[in-house]
Amino acid sequence: MSQLPEMAHHSRRTMLKGLLATAGGTAVMNWGGLFRSAAAADQVQRQGKRCILIWLNGGCSQFETFDMKVGRPTGGPFREIGTNLPGTKICELMPRIAERMDKLTVIRSMHTSQIDHPGGIYLMHTGYAPAANVRFPEIGAIVARYSGRPESDLPNFIKISSQGDAGSGFLGPRYQPFQLDQDGKLPPFSSSQLSAQAEGLRHELRDFLEAGFAARSAAEPARMHREAYEQARRLQHVRDVFQIDQQWERYREQYGDSKLGRRCLLARCLIEAGVSFVEVGQSGYDTHADNFSGHKALVPCMDQAWAGLLDDLEERGLLRDTLVVWMGEIGRTPNINNRSGRDHYVRCWSTALAGAGIKRGLVYGSTDEDGRDVRDSPVTEADFFATVYSALGINPAIENYSGVRPIPLAPFGHRVVADLLA
């Protein structure tokens, strides 16, 4: 059963407040601007919770990570190792995470609906399947909207070499992700070729012209355009946050000498600096061919980077308020194909959570002996996002409007999996 939404019923007047109308009278997105939604954001912001998403692009195999079937025809060549959670074993490719299982909640019973990459990436970034008439916002945009600090010079939603093109959806351009490249470097457009003085003069001129335009036009896009420039200008004050070379020398061993390790260190630095959502990507998991060598190449460096991140967050006292989400868009098939690969699978697969609002040392749900079906406690995408939002202190039933349509943060029919929450 889904929770009764706190604001499940909006009056017609409230709904209309949330609409913008064009000159022709067509309803357009309100960029999430409902009054109650804003009030909810104020409440959530005070909690100060943040989120890091480790995104395993292509779909990491549950059989080669958290849900092994050693000795079964579906098992593959890797072996299990014990963890610091009594009775729980995981893949030998993750020895460091094995020693930190007491910090995690692992969900072995994910059961989702989109089996291919575009749909799966959209689904596991928004909670919703792609739809022609609604642009759903990504989790990063939602966290930025409700937990982010509007006054911050830093963007509230940053992606480091990751995927997902839903962006801020109907929440509007203010919550679009700020993209960094695979080395975590700022994009070229973020730095000016002009001197500080010339740049300041240019800003004043642009501001003057835009203020004049804004006085004649109340159109939302014009305001957003000004805000985007203002954000870019403010970013110049905090560029040092993105420079982690010196820190990298100190933390290289802890995070592992890999690009993913460096991205995770940068994520920690950004979170510490006040960014509310950082997504860190690792690509290459779509192993239709050579699944085992593929995972052998990818998982160990992910293991070290993830473990290093958890340790670092905890040592700095940040893990209590930072939720670390580990997932890709799909799982992989039990059957091993004739390319020594595993294909896409969403009937049962694994994700993991740690930190803010989440129980420590829990393995939730299970699958059958060959990993073909969920045996108990299925978690749908709606349940997953509802639970994640709840852990972050965001009511998953909060509604925004896309046109006249109310859209809850987590899809209708969701169930908050209370067993996962601390």
In this chain, which of 340, 366, 368, 375 binds other proteins, going by CB under 8 A? 340
Quote the CA–CA distance of 263 and 160 in Å, as a whole number: 7
The nearer residue to other proteins, 261 or 365, going by C-beta atoms, is 261
The nearer residue to other proteins, 71 or 150, going by C-beta atoms, is 71
The yes or no reply on residue 260 touching other proteins (CB under 8 A) is yes
The yes or no reply on residue 259 touching other proteins (CB under 8 A) is yes
The yes or no reply on residue 250 touching other proteins (CB under 8 A) is no
The yes or no reply on residue 247 touching other proteins (CB under 8 A) is no
- Report how many residues bind other proteins under the rule CB under 8 A: 24
The nearer residue to other proteins, 302 or 310, going by C-beta atoms, is 302
In this chain, which of 298, 323, 392, 398 binds other proteins, going by CB under 8 A? 298
The nearer residue to other proteins, 259 or 359, going by C-beta atoms, is 259
The nearer residue to other proteins, 72 or 360, going by C-beta atoms, is 72
In this chain, which of 202, 316, 339, 405 binds other proteins, going by CB under 8 A? 339
Sequence-ordered list of residues with C-beta below 8 angstroms from that of 86, at least 6 positions apart, any chain: none
Give the count of beta carbons closer than 10 Å to the beta carbon of residue 4: 8
Residue window 167-186: x/- pattern of binding to other proteins, with contact defined by CB under 8 A: ---------------x----
In this chain, which of 297, 315, 405, 413 binds other proteins, going by CB under 8 A? 297
* Torsion 108-109-110-116 (CA) sign: positive
Residue window 68-87: x/- pattern of binding to other proteins, with contact defined by CB under 8 A: -----x---x-x--------
The yes or no reply on residue 200 touching other proteins (CB under 8 A) is no
In this chain, which of 222, 232, 241, 301 binds other proteins, going by CB under 8 A? 301
In this chain, which of 16, 194, 198, 289 binds other proteins, going by CB under 8 A? 289
Stretch that binds other proteins, among 1-9, 21-29, 196-204, 336-344 (CB under 8 A): 336-344
The yes or no reply on residue 258 touching other proteins (CB under 8 A) is yes
The yes or no reply on residue 290 touching other proteins (CB under 8 A) is yes
Task: Report the nearest approach of other proteins to the CB of residue 258 (Å).
Answer: 5
List residues near other proteins by CB under 8 A.
Answer: 73, 77, 79, 182, 257-260, 282-284, 289-290, 293-294, 296-298, 300-301, 337-340
